Structure 1
Amino acid sequence: MNNLYTLCILAALSLTACNDDYLERYPLDEISDGTFWKSAADVEMYANQFYPTLYDARLAWYDIDNASDNQVPRSRNIFTWNEYNIPSTDGGWGKADWLQIRRCNYALDRIGSIPASDALKQAEAEIRFFKAFHYFKKLKKFGEVPWLNSSLTPESEELTAPRDSRETVTNNIIKELDFAINSLPSTSAADRLTKYAALALKTEVALYEGTFRKYHKVGTAHDQLLKLAASAAEEIINSGQFSVFKTGNAEKDFFDLFVQYELKGNPEGILVQRFITDKRMHNNVRQLGEPGTGYSKDFVESYLCQDGLPIALSPMYKGDSKFADEFINRDPRMRQSIYYEDRPYRIYDNGVANNKKMPEFDNSYCPTSYFIIKGYSPYEKDRLPSTSITDDFIFRYGKVLLNYAEAKAELNECTQAVLDKSINLLRDRVKMPHLTVAVGFVDPNWPKWEIAISPLLNEIRRERRIETSAEGERWDDIVRWKAGKLLENPRTLVGAIEPATGKPRVVYPGYPARKWDDKLYLYPIPTQEIALNPNLTQNPGWK
């Protein structure tokens, strides 16, 4: 109801003025600047419009990973195949793409006219959080972008300003988040932002930028950012408010976590997106039933065996000549993330269940036969068009634990105690052996990173890849680690063994190997934007 009311308010919002004395009187049937910005409640109401932008129900998380080495969509991703042309307009830089940041600045320009109070400070903190959130998306896509401190008009000089440095943008994002952390409550009965949501975003920003600067050798102070990432994660951990979801059933808890009808109160939910029948629903379950994508062979081979060893070293590994063999003695998250025929794929309203016979190669469903089931409910009621109400995580405690372990390892501060209160809690959920600081093996199949890393970091990155699969994290990880050359590995483009040939299914037959170009770490700025603002410069490699 709050969202509906807000939309009505904003639809009526009039922000115009003129010099005619008669017309300067506030209209009685509209809300204007002169009548709206009076209290903290007004700012809170205005902030309501940003909550849906945290989670786009039209874009499932698994689609984002189609650009990565984890998944192989039925059609080649034009960006990672270096077939992306510089757009003339839009492309993430158009007017609509800056709208949310402008809306945040619009509110911040007017908050000063409202009498100060703790409630106002809290409402302002929400606006600043959302500004940081949307600027982080800009930073990841374009790198340097203009930092705007106010809403602009057609006459604003900032319209022809150059891009600000990554350091300036990142420092300002963190400044906004620190305001939010210090001003937001620890809990919210109304499902609004809390300080822990702001801390979770801070860990993501600081870890992303810290590792990006380190591996791309740009900017300075990457260690300082990594320390911020670790300390923000540690504050969440030490709060005692969150824990890893588990019931003791290692064979289903990981799967169940992502098909909940109600995540409110879930111990892993720092901030969740709730869906309610006839109020807000989504189509993701139906889409995931026919996604036209699937996990890659390379991703599937990254799962450890149940003894904690990789497939190249474990005597428990049964090989891959038969589809069923791949799932034997593997990390339980594998069967809970990738479809195997021992579970129903569809359960109809009359209780009849349908199990697929595997392997199954179908470009409309899954071209690799490694069907994504993380977040997929088999129940027919959830597959009806745009009627699903399974909730989603915006900030998940499990990811915070991964951020913490990685940041500490990058700082050479990862002790066994750090692992035991982070990654090993995730492994406990599925009853996998603990990761130790002294890894104890050298996996010949560790990714061929452009920049060499320690065995411990290799295993932390493996854990991140497994735990966050199909959650839209992998592309960002590849970018910040300067690991684009991983996409040249042919096994990132093939699927399961085809019984007829005895070889992995090639999804794009007849095409040459994918070739990485470093320009793809950033998107290009549209040509028209550069033409309109001669102070803008293009990202490296784009012509």
Structure 2
Amino acid sequence: MMNFKRFIPGTVAILSIVFMLLASSCQKDFLEKPFSVTFNEDSVFAKYENAQKLVFDMYALKPYYLDLSVQTVATRRLNGSLLESATDFGCSFRLNANYFTHKFNFGTVQAENLTNQVDGEDSYPDHYKTIRKAFTLIERIDEVPDAPANQKERIKAEAKTMIAFNYFELMKRYGGVPLLKKRLNPGTDDLNIARSPLSDVYAYIIQLLDEAIVVQEFAPRYDNNDFGRLNKAFAYGLKAKAALYVASPLFNTATPYLNFGGNNKLICMGSNDPNRWVTAAKYASDAITYCESNGYAIINTANKNINYTISYQYRPNEGNTEVMWGTMKVTNPNMAYWIPRGTPFTGGFSSNLASINLIEKYQNKDGSYVNWNSVITTPPNDPTFPYKNLDPRFDQSIMYNGQTLYTGVAIQYYEHETVALHGNNSPAKASTQWSHQVRKHVYGYENRTITGKTWQPMCAIMRLTELYMIQAEAQNEAAAAPDATVYGRINTIRNRSDMPNLPTGLSKDDMRKKIQDEWGIEFVFEEYRYFDLKRWKLGDVFKGPVYDVKVKKLNNNTYTYTKYKYEDRPFYDWYYLHPLPPSEVNLQYGLIQNPGW
């Protein structure tokens, strides 16, 4: 069980938050009310303008993974790391020991630090704080006398979607969790809540989303000043995503990753039911139909070299017809975490690096692969030779040797046969660790400090492409062999980036591998890989080996690219699910910890 007393803020605590929000809104008539104990929850719901501030506060803990900052005393989630750096696809810069993802790579993750501290992967209590705010709105918004009726209905649907989203985020990390279905009253309710079975959490997610979807006033999308608020399209999409997770091998089994005895139901669905894939495929199809009937569309402009970036970086008013929910938090964040080490990138940290394990998954535009297992020798003065024909998504996602980031500035990761001529961004001259790093999210803004261009990176929490991927994966698993729907969804995603169709005649197993690779490429550095490997129950992939390449420039102006093993990494079966915070478990009121932790 879990004791929720500490998650129920007292009147003063609640109203302090709302008061600060109201103060920032400069509403003079409301601020003239004395700051006293008479300023209570009833005051918030006495006026629509005030209640809206609580709606906005419901988003205070929204997901956002692009606010990078590494410090000795952490102030950011993962302390400057991107989550891909905890997978076979990447690594954070090792000479700075403070990046949190080092703990995954070294096998030194501590349970409390992982799930209940500012630099961990998740803050378990934050989900319940948001859930409580949402239930408060559901229960009291109808009391607001001047709130339009359509807005009351919209806010209730929005709050239900927010609750469902937070339960999904809990489910994918922890399995079954304590399930609250209302705002608890410490005077009348039992605050010691046991973990619910995984199947019950999933069922409640679907129930909430179905309740939100039928609300006519809940719009398919919100743009302009309302962009960033939840909408009906996202509710449809989240149904599909939740169904995908319970259909996947980690949860869709009677035999969980570790024997949990009588508590197995907390970490698996209790059976291997192929129909769960059928359900996921149907939910994805329903979501796609709804989205495409309401103005959403896969980005497919004539410029195949930018479609991908539009899909995850642009806002709807900039032409992105694909993003279903995006979050923003910071404007002009510190470029140091995104740019290379060495000149002319003054102060660059190369914070998050890309492995050859990732680079190898990118095909050439003809569908072939670069052979990184043999030494690659380029023609003279052609440093980008290995990359020239790669999938356009590669150049938009990765920084590499010889790449021109902006006019007159090319990356020099190479070490030279003549020591005095090492590249400016090389290991010898700039302490660079690997020969590839993240470009995605900063693409097009690399010279922002020169141009002064405003950079407000968006986390695309869901986009239409994901629904295509969910339907393709689920349909492939549900059918005896990949059908036209599977091929059609994957090929649409590939074609818009100038990549060819997949070869016909693939077996179910071969298609599964193609789909997994497509997930990795399309959603790289968007926090998918870490959870996808887990839901596929592919923990061994985390172990590596993880590879890099050494780049060398010879005196004859050719370059060599030599793949080498960087390291092996640990992965323990208990890593498949996060631990609940030990500080909660150790209070000994009955909350059951996940196995292995």
Q: TM-score, normalised by structure 2?
A: 0.73
* CA-based RMSD: 3.7
For this pair of structures, how many residues does the alignment match? 496
C-alpha separation between the residues in 2 aligned to 1:161 and 1:456?
A: 43
C-alpha separation between the residues in 2 aligned to 1:523 and 1:243?
A: 35
C-alpha separation between the residues in 1 aligned to 2:357 and 2:200?
A: 38
**Partner SS, residue 100 of structure 1:** helix
1:46-77, Cα deviation, whole Å (9 max, x unpaired)? 22223353342654697011111111222362
Of the structure 1 ranges 324-333 and 49-58, higher mean CA displacement relative to structure 2 is found in 49-58
2:548–2:566: 8 Å Cα contact kept in structure 1? yes
1:243 aligns with 2:303: no
- When residues 253 and 95 of structure 1 are mapped into structure 2, their CA distance, relative to the original with a 3 A threshold, is closer
**Partner SS, residue 338 of structure 2:** helix
Of the structure 1 ranges 176-185 and 414-423, higher mean CA displacement relative to structure 2 is found in 414-423
Q: Give the alignment partner of residue 144 of structure 1, picking from 167, 176, 180.
A: 176
- When residues 129 and 42 of structure 1 are mapped into structure 2, their CA distance, relative to the original with a 3 A threshold, is farther
Q: CA deviation at 1:456?
A: 0.9
5+ residue gaps, structure 1, are: 1-5, 15-25, 441-452
Of the structure 1 ranges 65-74 and 231-240, higher mean CA displacement relative to structure 2 is found in 231-240
1:47–1:126: 8 Å Cα contact kept in structure 2? no
State the one-letter code of the partner of 1:229. Answer: A
1:72–1:507: 8 Å Cα contact kept in structure 2? no
Q: CA deviation at 1:429?
A: 1.3
Which aligned pairs between 1:88-99 and structure 2 lie closer than 5 A?
90=116, 92=122, 95-96=125-126, 98-99=128-129
**Partner SS, residue 504 of structure 1:** strand
Q: Give the alignment partner of residue 206 of structure 1, picking from 230, 237, 243.
A: 243
C-alpha separation between the residues in 1 aligned to 2:481 and 2:335?
A: 38
C-alpha separation between the residues in 2 aligned to 1:100 and 1:421?
A: 38
C-alpha separation between the residues in 2 aligned to 1:96 and 1:235?
A: 31
Of the structure 1 ranges 85-94 and 159-168, higher mean CA displacement relative to structure 2 is found in 85-94
Alignment match, 1:367: 433
1:198-244, Cα deviation, whole Å (9 max, x unpaired)? 11222222212221323665314754543343223223322422222
Q: Give the alignment partner of residue 401 of structure 1, picking from 448, 468, 477.
A: 468
1:368–1:507: 8 Å Cα contact kept in structure 2? no
Identity of aligned residues (%): 22
Alignment match, 1:105: 135
1:346-379, Cα deviation, whole Å (9 max, x unpaired)? x4xxxx6311124455598962211221222344
Q: Give the alignment partner of residue 331 of structure 2, picking from 281, 289, 302.
A: 281
- When residues 366 and 111 of structure 1 are mapped into structure 2, their CA distance, relative to the original with a 3 A threshold, is farther
1:416–1:437: 8 Å Cα contact kept in structure 2? no
- When residues 298 and 10 of structure 1 are mapped into structure 2, their CA distance, relative to the original with a 3 A threshold, is same
Alignment match, 1:11: 20
1:194 aligns with 2:248: no
Q: Give the alignment partner of residue 461 of structure 1, picking from 512, 516, 519.
A: 516
1:167 aligns with 2:199: yes
1:388 aligns with 2:441: no
- When residues 410 and 541 of structure 1 are mapped into structure 2, their CA distance, relative to the original with a 3 A threshold, is same
**Partner SS, residue 270 of structure 1:** strand
- When residues 477 and 7 of structure 1 are mapped into structure 2, their CA distance, relative to the original with a 3 A threshold, is farther
C-alpha separation between the residues in 2 aligned to 1:365 and 1:288?
A: 16
Alignment match, 1:450: none
C-alpha separation between the residues in 2 aligned to 1:97 and 1:197?
A: 18
Q: TM-score, normalised by structure 1?
A: 0.79
Alignment match, 1:86: 111
C-alpha separation between the residues in 2 aligned to 1:428 and 1:235?
A: 23
C-alpha separation between the residues in 2 aligned to 1:365 and 1:247?
A: 40
- When residues 383 and 105 of structure 1 are mapped into structure 2, their CA distance, relative to the original with a 3 A threshold, is farther
1:101–1:131: 8 Å Cα contact kept in structure 2? yes
Q: Give the alignment partner of residue 308 of structure 2, picking from 229, 232, 254.
A: 254
1:258–1:374: 8 Å Cα contact kept in structure 2? no
2:327–2:458: 8 Å Cα contact kept in structure 1? yes
1:281–1:389: 8 Å Cα contact kept in structure 2? yes
State the one-letter code of the partner of 2:322. Answer: E
1:263-283, Cα deviation, whole Å (9 max, x unpaired)? 5541212223367xxxx6251
Q: CA deviation at 1:477?
A: 0.2
C-alpha separation between the residues in 2 aligned to 1:12 and 1:397?
A: 33
State the one-letter code of the partner of 2:155. Answer: A
Alignment match, 1:66: 85
Q: Give the alignment partner of residue 209 of structure 2, picking from 177, 196, 215.
A: 177
Which aligned pairs between 1:133-532 and structure 2 lie closer than 5 A?
133-152=165-184, 158-183=190-215, 184-189=218-223, 190-191=226-227, 192-211=229-248, 212-214=250-252, 217=256, 218-219=268-269, 220=271, 222-239=273-290, 240=292, 241-255=295-309, 257-260=311-314, 264-273=318-327, 281-283=331-333, 286-289=336-339, 290-311=349-370, 320-321=376-377, 324-341=384-401, 343-345=403-405, 347=406, 353-359=408-414, 360-362=425-427, 367-376=433-442, 377-381=444-448, 388-412=455-479, 415-436=482-503, 438-439=505-506, 454-490=509-545, 492=546, 494-499=547-552, 503-504=562-563, 507=566, 513-532=568-587
Q: CA deviation at 1:342?
A: 5.4
- When residues 168 and 484 of structure 1 are mapped into structure 2, their CA distance, relative to the original with a 3 A threshold, is same
C-alpha separation between the residues in 2 aligned to 1:138 and 1:384?
A: 41
**Partner SS, residue 396 of structure 2:** coil
C-alpha separation between the residues in 1 aligned to 2:571 and 2:350?
A: 25
- When residues 94 and 401 of structure 1 are mapped into structure 2, their CA distance, relative to the original with a 3 A threshold, is closer
- When residues 74 and 187 of structure 1 are mapped into structure 2, their CA distance, relative to the original with a 3 A threshold, is closer
1:319-339, Cα deviation, whole Å (9 max, x unpaired)? 645563431433232223222
**Partner SS, residue 476 of structure 1:** helix
State the one-letter code of the partner of 1:495. Answer: D
Q: CA deviation at 1:520?
A: 0.5
State the one-letter code of the partner of 1:411. Answer: A
- When residues 533 and 117 of structure 1 are mapped into structure 2, their CA distance, relative to the original with a 3 A threshold, is farther
2:445–2:455: 8 Å Cα contact kept in structure 1? no
Alignment match, 2:28: none
Alignment match, 1:443: none
Of the structure 1 ranges 211-220 and 199-208, higher mean CA displacement relative to structure 2 is found in 211-220
State the one-letter code of the partner of 1:213. Answer: F
Q: CA deviation at 1:439?
A: 2.3
